[in-house]
Amino acid sequence: MDVFEAVTSRRAVRGFTDRPVPKEVLERVLSTAAWAPSGSNLQPWHVYLLTGGPLAALKKCAGERLAAGDPWDEPEYEQYPPELKSPYRERRSAFGEQRYGALGIPREDVEARQRAASGNWECFGAPAALFCYIDRDLGPAQWSDLGMYLQTVMLLLRAEGLHSCTQMAWAKYHRSVAEILSPPDELILFCGMSIGFEDAAVDHVRTGRAPLGETVTFVDGD
């Protein structure tokens, strides 16, 4: 698979089969992803890879908290500004329309939207999940390094025939994740990532992207 195909075939997959992901594949992907760039080569990612019993325990714990109506853990970082301005606000609501519209859920049916989002806590059925932490002393430039690292992981997963879904949702239950992983106190959970083989029977829509001219300016004198 070439890089263009890996990039364009990657998408947030929200339905996985229970087919296990071989450990040697995960090791190959993660040891190769370590070549992702980072400012001054800090490599600020701290990654935990969960499968089997520990992942099942985490899914169970999160599912129980959700069912009990337990409030989210206090946030350790702001996922979005409280007032998203244009054009981000419109893009976010277009995404919501696409994601829930594909499932036949209208905008006003908040409960059905929450039920669909609850798939996050089962990792959408995935048999493997990655959790990515960063040291709380590090700043925006190092957080951006995490993005480069995570995209590198996702593209390598495509090369192995696997799919993924990055999930900031897991930061809402960071205490439950920490109970299973026992990370050092100085780390903040940025996100989880479900990993596995796609369940082709699960409907999805391809998200769109803004036209190139909205996000890229060529400055070439022409």
| Residues between 64 and 123 that touch ligand FMN (CB under 6 A) | 95, 120
> Between residues 88 and 95, which has the closer beta carbon with respect to ligand FMN?
95
Helix count and strand count (H, E) for the chain: 8, 4
Name the residue nearer to ligand FMN (CB basis): 32 or 98: 98
Question: Could you tell me the strand order of the sheet in which 128-135 lies?
Answer: 46-51, 128-135, 187-196, 163-167
Token duo for residue 20:
């296990």
169 interacts with ligand FMN by CB under 6 A? yes
If one asks whether residue 59 binds ligand FMN (CB under 6 A), the answer comes out as no
Residue 176 interacting with ligand FMN (CB under 6 A)? no
Cβ proximity to ligand FMN, 51 vs 151, nearer residue = 151
Coil, strand or helix: which one is 31? helix
Nearer of residues 12 and 102 to ligand FMN, judged by Cβ: 12
Helix 52-67, helix 174-181: angle, nearest 10: 150
User: Which of 163, 167, 146 shows the shortest CA–CA distance to 155?
Assistant: 163
Interface with ligand FMN by CB under 6 A: which residues?
A: 11-12, 14, 95, 120, 165-169, 191, 207
